[in-house]
Structure 1
Amino acid sequence: MALDIRRFIQRFVEEAADHLPRLREGIHALEQGNADREQINELFRAAHTLKGSSRMLKLVPITALAHSTEELLSALREGTLTITSEMTSLLNQAVDELTDFVGRLAEGATGEELPEANAALCSALENAAHGQLPTQPSSPVPVAPAAAPTSPSTPVAESELRLSDTVRVRLNRLDDVIRLMGEVLSGHHHLHSLVDQARELSATLPADQQSPFQAFHRELKDSVLTHDSLMSDLHDRALQMRMLPLSVVLDPFAQMSRELAQSLGKQVDCRVRGSEIELDRQMIDRLSDPLIHLLRNALDHGLEPPAERQAAGKPPRGQLVIEARQDAGWVVIEMHDDGAGIALDAVHQKALAKQLVSEEQLNALSEQETLELIFLPGFSTKSMITDFSGRGVGMDVVKRTVVDELNGDLQLASVSGRGTRFTLRLPLSLAMMRVLLVRVVGVTLGVTAPYVSELVECSTDTFIDTAGQRTLILRNEFVPVVSLAQLLKLPNTTSNNGSTLLLVVHQRHQKLALIIDSLIDERDMVIKPLPVHLRHLPLVSGMVSMGRNALVSLLHVPALLEATRRSVLHPSVERPSSTSAQRILVVDDSLNTREIEKDVLEAWGYHVTLAENGRDGLAKALAEPFDAVLTDVEMPVMDGFALTARLRENEDYRHRPIIIITSREKEADRRRGIEVGADAYIVKGSFDQNNLVETLQALLG
């Protein structure tokens, strides 16, 4: 895909409009003898940036002049020269000519239409950098006819006026505006409660006073509603000012990928789609490093050399697609290649060699869970992340940036011989998000809506006990139940008897039901970052304002899920020696259900291996023998009935126990289970861990 240079010309003009005044100010400081080392460094960086940006856009005259200017500034920066009036004169002439070039671009000129750089000026700048100054220093360097100076009435002056149509604002100032708008919105929300109080007060007044007070109530209500839409629109406009198209990050990837692939002796076609979609500037800034790291890994570890691709029946040129799309309040970015995919055996060996997990734990992992070991800290070693693709950013940092810092999600899929796909799911902005406000033992807390699955009110009698963990059966899935007050170590004075309100949160395939007292509100709120001295708190991701200087902590759901996994202590159960060597395969597409059944069985001494769907379960069952298989019914790719039937066709599993555990209660489903060869059929709605263990022990003898 060819890079459309014209799309970036205006952006270069805006960038130059920021750097040229800095150059003028710095040169003036040099003339006055007031420039310190840092100001000279800033001058050098401005010239260097103009050179680099113009070179990418093939603006040859600007590149040449900026390069010569950079040469002189480099010598000044290194201290090999002492500034003289002749040098500042040359620098001022260079800035004047650069300004002329930028003015022409602002008028619509292309790089090919720019006049050539003043060769005499470029030569004088470079000679000055080597200590060779002209004999007549006071005389300006002759200007080439094509770049004749212009008077203030010429189009260049008009173009400079047009440059003021675009204003470059420091991001921290824009953040201050958005923060103040958030404070205004929070304070305005309080007026709604005053409107309700005015209505209630009107009802308590004598009849002869109600009429004027009701008129006041109506006027107040209308005013608040009118300002609602005005302030909401104003805040939306303020947020849009911080939005930038993804093209800022994604469009250079096509050219970058070709150059990097060439340095690796590979060939690639990189296609970028959806780069016009906009994201918050803060998010785009943080996305740059993770996306570049994923790109480099795709080229280094994913795509094969041309000869290897041809031997595998593929075209010699690899395909890399980077695609962005909007999904409601989210932006989804996918990067996928048609390379060799991730070798599970290599991941397995690396995890063992680095002692990240034990061999027993590895055997219990599903195929997807094995793939995701690459996100563990310490997995990015030299053999996996080369000097080319490292840059000090490991896959664990990519995941932490996307999940923890950007409140997003990162998914990985890989098929051997066909390629790898990374999917990033990100909110449009971190500045404002939908927030649920809940109350727990008198404390108000917030949870951002993307992590919320649903609210459930149920009786505590519906909970079941699985290996010491309270569990809710929610639509064919076991969901652990945890008291939010207990998790946060708050004094819990509420009773667990009767009805319980549960806030079900999720991250990807993992769910957790949090016991809360009540739901207060749900609305869009401005997210405030934690102050520096509080950023060490793992369970809190930010704060929101409730008005009147009341701040509410936002819970960080990924950290809550991790804290729950660490805090759950299963009771020690006397493990019968007769079952210590028996191996069980658990097949279920729900991560929660797999983990809970695994905990129950391991508490009784069984060795458990997990599979995430029927196809994964069949592959693992045929790869090594298991003493029994536990399977769900409703799963993607291959359901439990098909898995049972396929296992019964295999001689090794013709007589081994297969237990179906599902939420399907219909008699027809039970008969279907018997027909395909299941030995037992357990309904999740009446699940009891003792019943499961007793059934398994009876079938295993």
Structure 2
Amino acid sequence: MALDITRFVLRFIDEAREHLQLLNEGVALLEQGQADTEQVNSLFRSAHTLKGSSRMLKLVPITETAHALEDLLSALREGKLAFESTRHSSLLYQALDHLTSLVDQLAEHQDPTCLPDRDTALCQALTQAAEGQQAPATPESQSTQAESDKAPAPVKEASLKTSDSVRIKLTRLDELIKLMGEIVSSHAHMRELVKDSRQLKQDASLASSRWLNDLDLFNRELRDGVQIQESLMQELHDKALQLRMLPLTTIFDSAGRLVREMARSLGKQVECRVIGAEIELDRQMIDQLADPVIHLLRNALDHGVETPQEREALGKPAQGQITLSAWQDGSWVVIEVRDDGRGISLQAIRDKVLQKELMTPEQLDALSDQEIMDLIFLPGFSTSAMITEISGRGVGMDVVKSSVVDSLQGTLRVHSRPGKGSRLSLRLPLSLALMRVLLVEVEGQKLGFTAQYISELVRVKSDAMMRVAERNAIILRNEFVPVMSLSELIHLPEKPAKIKKSADELLLLVTQVQHEKLALVVDELIDERDLVIKQLPEHLRRQPLISGMVTTGHNELVSLLHVPHLLERSRKTKTATGVRVQQGQQANKVLVVDDSLNTREIEKDVLEAYGYQVTLAEHGQDGLEKALLEDFDAVLTDVEMPVMDGFTLTARLREQERYKNRPIIIITSREKESDRRRGLEVGADAYIVKGSFDQSSLVETLKLLLG
């Protein structure tokens, strides 16, 4: 009786992908010169196993390619051949890419007869390289060599493969089954308590002290039973969720091959390093991560990494580098795409914004460098001079932002240094199934916030509120934080019959997205707990204010507010009700230096209201560089900042001839007399404490110092 091999194919696919992952990681170490003898032995064993297991299933193209790969690795292992990075790594990667493609095709069709014939040229090149001969150029390498003479070949639609199955460790399954048994036992106890409650109800007509004691005992048992049940259900949910966790390997493994394919189509030489692929995320998260990761890799390749000729002219290695890394940060996972290319040109962004008339020159001048860089996430924005198959279509970075911030409840941050490269960081929760939620009450309605956007919850006296640039604000730990009524921001009708708490005290929910904060006035904190997040119905998913729903213990549905959208609303409200710039004032140029985005924005609003032209800096070093590049009539600076503090900045500015007599005002929360004296010693003309901040006194002080 013939052996039916089709039932073994799925097992082979899983094992093959594991070996291909090990091979890709090992070749990367070889290329970096970090592989020891045991590492090379491990590579050989993986290729050997791949050859043997595919031969048993008569997967001839995989067997012959793995055999040729094994020959080359054997020569390297036995020392017959010295590893040459430029020659051997490209050949090894081509072999792994081809094997991965064959395994992917097998996974798609689950039929060994679907595989194409072996790549004869590739197998021959591997065999000749193993024998120490100069391998003939493969069609792929010939194409690369001809990139300078012809237009780039079109690249096929990029994709990162994810498996439609999950491999579960037996120990995890045992734990789940054991836990289910405990829950069944607990449920039986709860059922008995229900019977007891019926009996107590029948005895109600015979109420006595004994009956009351029995009722009290029943209440205690019921309470304890509910707590135990809740604890077990929580543990069950955690265990079940672990079964759905997958390593990022499922999408990271394809990244190296994807980068190499796209790089060849662009005539670029790029090494892709993958770090932290073992980090686990909920399968639901991983499924939605493929497109954002592709877009980030595309942009790094097309916009970031230069051509070999450009890199050599700049004194860089001809081969660029893209690093895709991940690490766990508490209950969060950070995914980062970094390149060593040209970086993001702020001037190119400004030019594109003006060209598309997205902003006026005056609005652009008021933005900090980071805010200008964040404009790359605008829909349809692209600085590419030409639309290509890789990028420049004006879709991509806005898709990344939408996926990460809106769909995955994460945050997105971009960093760049001209000529040095760029770094885009995605910070994501481990799972969207269960999240920490704060429930509040506003105007009689219950509303929820996911905890990742909550900085703190504070009660403040009404007299702690200050009016700055026609906006309410408070001072929290050395920074101004704008304050808005949540009910007004989302247009909730006021409940006339509602009993208000003391007007002398306000409850503020301080929200934060990246470096921007907004304090929302709420009426009451109801609860804080881990809750299951329910997706909105399909017809409601496009509205931006609500990100999901949760159910309370009384089966009441509560909407979760999407904090990034609330911040966007608050900015539009500020613009709509903002102050008008007074006319007739001299347009003095003022540099504002503070590490708090909120403080910079508030001080900018105050100064612009009185006709000053304001430039913003994020810390002392940033302020010093801008002060040296441009001539300012006055400088306002905080003290406590990263990189360089305000005292050091003031002293450094006083060393410059043109800033020896320019007004420098320190605005800080430090109230000690010793700090005041130090500020004056380093050369500050005025020292304003934020706790007693008054916008009119600031403006009057500035007018007096400017004469």
Query: 2:110, 2:252 → 1: CA distance?
Result: 29
TM-score, normalised on structure 2?
0.70
Query: Contact 1:290–1:393 at 8 Å: present in 2 too?
Result: no
Q: Report if aligned partners of 2:592, 2:604 keep a CA contact under 8 Å in 1.
A: yes
Q: Deviations over 1:230-279 (max 9, x none)?
A: 21222223323332221111111112212221222221221111112221
Shift of 1:596: 0.6
SS in 1 for 2:415: strand
C-alpha deviation, 1:533, in angstroms: 3.2
The corresponding residue for 2:382 is 380
Give the conservation status (yes or no) of the 8 Å contact 1:467–1:570. Answer: no
| Preserved CA contact (<8 Å) 2:380 2:395 | no
Which residue of 2 is the match for residue 614 of structure 1? 620
Return the letter of the residue paired with 1:575: Q
The answer for the alignment partner of 1:681 in structure 2 is: 687
Q: CA 1:451/1:516 → structure 2, altered by over 3 Å: closer, same or farther?
A: same
- Corresponding residue number in structure 2 for 1:159: none
Give the match for residue 672 of structure 1: 678
How far apart are the structure 2 equivalents of 1:656 and 1:11?
Answer: 74
Match of 2:585 among 578, 584, 587: 578
**What is aligned with 1:552?**
558
Question: What displacement does 1:621 show?
Answer: 1.7
Matches within 5 A, 1:518-537: 518-537=524-543
2:488 counterpart residue number: 486
Please give the alpha-carbon distance, in whole angstroms, between the structure 2 residues aligned to 1:487 and 1:298: 38
Residue in structure 2 matched with residue 408 of structure 1 by the alignment: 410
Q: Tell me how far 1:339 sits from its aligned partner.
A: 1.5
Of the structure 1 ranges 386-395 and 429-438, higher mean CA displacement relative to structure 2 is found in 386-395
Give the equivalent residue in structure 2 for 1:246. 248
Question: Hey, what's the Cα distance between the residues in 2 that align with 1:664 and 1:165?
Answer: 56
Assess, with a 3 A threshold, how the Cα gap between structure 1 residues 343 and 226 changes in structure 2: closer, same or farther.
same
1:542 matches 2:543: no
SS at match of 2:650: helix
- Asked if residue 654 in structure 1 is aligned to residue 660 in structure 2, the reply is yes
Shift of 1:536: 4.2
Q: Specify every segment of 5 or more residues in structure 1 that has no aligned partner in the other structure, as ranges.
A: 1-7, 17-53, 66-94, 103-111, 113-162, 168-180
Does the 8 Å CA contact 2:380/2:394 hold for their aligned counterparts?
A: no
Are the aligned partners of 1:293 and 1:391 in contact in 2 as well (CA < 8 Å)? no
Structure 1 9/414 Cα, relative in aligned 2: closer, same or farther at 3 Å? farther
Match of 1:430 among 429, 432, 445: 432
Q: Which amino acid aligns with 2:239?
A: R
Residue in 1 that maps onto 2:508 = 502
Q: What CA deviation, in whole Å up to 9, does each residue of 1:136-166 have, x standing for no partner?
A: xxxxxxxxxxxxxxxxxxxxxxxxxxx9998
Q: Which runs of 5+ in 2 are unaligned?
A: 1-8, 18-49, 63-105, 114-122, 124-164, 170-182
Partners of 1:573 and 1:344 lie apart in 2 by 28
2:213 matched residue in structure 1:
211
Sequence identity of aligned pairs in percent? 59
Counterpart secondary structure, 1:425: strand
Task: Write the distance in 1 (CA, Å) between the matches of 2:335 and 2:422.
Answer: 14
1:433 deviates by: 0.6
| 8 Å Cα contact 2:634/2:663 also seen in 1 | yes
C-alpha distance 381-436 of structure 1, shift in aligned 2 (>3 A): same
Structure 1: which amino acid aligns with 2:687?
Answer: Y
1:299-346 superposed Cα distances (whole Å, 9 cap, x missing partner): 122112223223333222222111111111111101111122112222
Moved more, 229-238 or 630-639: 229-238
CA change 1:472–1:63 in 2 (3 A) is: farther
* One-letter amino acid of the structure 2 residue matched with residue 235 of structure 1: H
Question: 2:352 aligned with 1:346, yes or no?
Answer: no
Aligned with residue 330 of structure 2, among 312, 328, 333: 328
Q: What is the identity, as a one-letter code, of the residue corresponding to 1:577?
A: G
- Quote the Cα distance in structure 1 between the aligned partners of 2:641 and 2:434: 36
CA distance in structure 2 between the partners assigned to 1:577 and 1:272 by the alignment? 58
Cα separation, partners in 2 of 1:334 and 1:382, compared to 1, 3 Å: closer
State the distance in 1 between where 2:553 and 2:584 align: 62
Trace 1:296-315 onto structure 2 (pairs within 5 A): 296-315=298-317
In the aligned structure 2, how far is the partner of 1:437 from the partner of 1:520?
A: 5
Q: How far 1:505 moved relative to its partner?
A: 0.6
Secondary structure, aligned partner of 2:488: helix
Aligned pair count? 537
Partner of 1:362: 364
Q: Following the alignment from structure 1 to structure 2, what is the Cα–Cα distance between the partners of residues 357 and 341?
A: 23
Displacement, 1:441? 1.4
1:505-548 deviation line (CA, Å, top 9, x unaligned) = 10000001111111111111111111133334322111101144
Q: Secondary structure of the equivalent of 1:511?
A: strand
1:88-237 matches, within 5 Å, as 207-237=209-239
Please name the residue that 1:516 is paired with: 522
Alpha-carbon RMSD: 3.4
1:578 Cα offset (Å): 3.1
Matched AA of 2:358: L
Give how far 1:225 is off: 2.6
Residue identity in the other structure for 1:504 = V
* Aligned residues of 2:166 and 2:244 also touching (Cα < 8 A): no
Is 1:699 the counterpart of 2:705? The answer is yes
CA distance in 1, matches of 2:482, 2:362: 24
1:166–1:619: structure 2 CA closer, same or farther, 3 Å change rule?
closer
1:268 to 267, 270, 275: 270
Name the residue aligned to 1:105: none
- Contact 1:473-1:479 within 8 A present in 2 as well: yes
Residue of structure 1 equivalent to 2:284: 282
1:497 deviates by: 2.0
CA contact (8 A) 1:244 1:278 kept: yes
Moved more, 666-675 or 529-538: 529-538
Taking a change above 3 Å as real, the CA distance of residues 574 and 560 of structure 1, as seen in their structure-2 partners, is closer
Matched letter for residue 643 of structure 2: V
Instruction: State how far apart, in whole Å, the 1-side matches of 2:457 and 2:285 are.
Output: 30
Q: Alpha carbons of 1:383 and 1:588: their partners in 2 closer, same or farther (altered >3 Å)?
A: same
State how far apart, in whole Å, the 2-side matches of 1:410 and 1:245 are: 21
Q: Which residue of 2 aligns with 1:12?
A: 13
The residue that corresponds to 1:592 in the other structure is 598
**Other-structure match for 1:452:** 454
Cα 1:657/1:384, change in 2 over 3 Å:
farther
- Distance in 2 (CA, whole Å) between partners of 1:336 and 1:233 is 37
Work out the CA distance in 2 between the residues paired with 1:289 and 1:165.
23
Distance in 2 separating the partners of 1:636 and 1:402: 27
Contact 2:382 2:393 in 1 (8 A): no
SS at 2:405 equivalent:
helix
* Residues 55-84 of structure 1: per-residue CA shift (max 9 Å, x gap): 9x999965879xxxxxxxxxxxxxxxxxxx
- Stretch of structure 1 that moved more, 291-300 or 211-220: 211-220
Query: Does the 8 A contact of 1:433 with 1:449 survive in 2?
Result: yes
